[in-house]
Amino acid sequence: MVNKVVRRAYEILEGTTNDRLARGFQIFIISLISINVLFVVIETEESVLDEYGYLFTPFEVFSVIIFTAEYAGRILVCKLNPKYENTRYARLRLVFTPMMLVDLAAILPFFLPFVITDLRFIRIIRLLRLFRLFKLARYSDPMQTLGEVFKSKAGDLAVAFFILFIVLIFASSLMYHAEHEAQPEIFSSIPASMWWGVITLTTIGYGDTYPVTIMGKIVGGAVAILGIAVYAIPTGIMASAFTEELRKKRQKTRTCPHCGKEYDNT
């Protein structure tokens, strides 16, 4: 009896079955996460907090109870996962997986104030409640696809951002030497000039920092044009990776022409 209950809990938590109870659990968790994120956002409005603040604490307690039970449940049933079935220290390995760390970050903000009394630190910790949004990755195919894309193209993206960093250093250095004498307060150093480099390379151009000398304008124009090309590199990598990942999923999953249900092509 106990084994059947544990097996059933594993099926519901890990989504290995698609029956009514499992779907209901997923919808419930997704709704709870969405409302939590909404509460984190709207509680910054003092007028809303003054009028409906009495609802926030009970809902937070309820949410933490559910998320803690889910977190503990995943640890208890992890041995049923083929990935951890014959693995030493299976539960310890599970705890340090990315999604379990996200789950832990989602519940920690509630418990830490009982241990830490520094109000500034507590305010920062409370922002971790936004990590509950990443819990949706367990139940959302698009977010899982995004995770697979980042995982498969991590090396390529690292190279692309390293190139961007080199271009940023080079552009900021040129602008510092071109504008330092004319605007010593704004372009006081190369690190200070990096703000101009970031907003120019990303083509945002806030207008709070800009060159006034002829040489500075030449450098600025060249960097602005270069930024369009350089920032297209990670965009192209992500776009091609998404296309490739979606193609793989379409090949893996097929639809039965008779009943319309999807089946695994592997």
Tens digits of residue pLDDT in 144-170: 787 788 888 888 888 888 988 999 999
**Quick one: pLDDT at residue 265?**
53
User: Which range is least confidently modeled, 57-61, 109-113, 162-166?
Assistant: 109-113
Look at residues 104, 139, 174 and tell me which one is the last residue of a structural domain: 139
Mean pLDDT, the chain, whole residue set: 83
Q: CATH number for the domain including 195?
A: 1.10.287.70
Q: Which pLDDT belongs to residue 174?
A: 94
Same-domain status, 135 and 6: yes
58 with 184, same domain: the answer is no
Q: Could you say which of 86, 110, 139 is where a domain stops?
A: 139
Higher pLDDT, 134 or 197: 197
pLDDT attached to residue 14: 83
DSSP tag of 187: S
| 205 φψ region: left (φ > 0), alpha (ψ -120 to 50), beta (else) | left
Structure tokens that stand for 247 in this block = 């193609």
Same structural domain, 146 and 123:
no
Residue 116's domain is classified under what CATH number? Answer: 1.20.120.350
* Amino acid making up residue 255: T
Both 43 and 105 in a single domain? Answer: yes
Give the count of domains, the chain.
2
- Stretch 201-216: mean pLDDT, rounded? 87
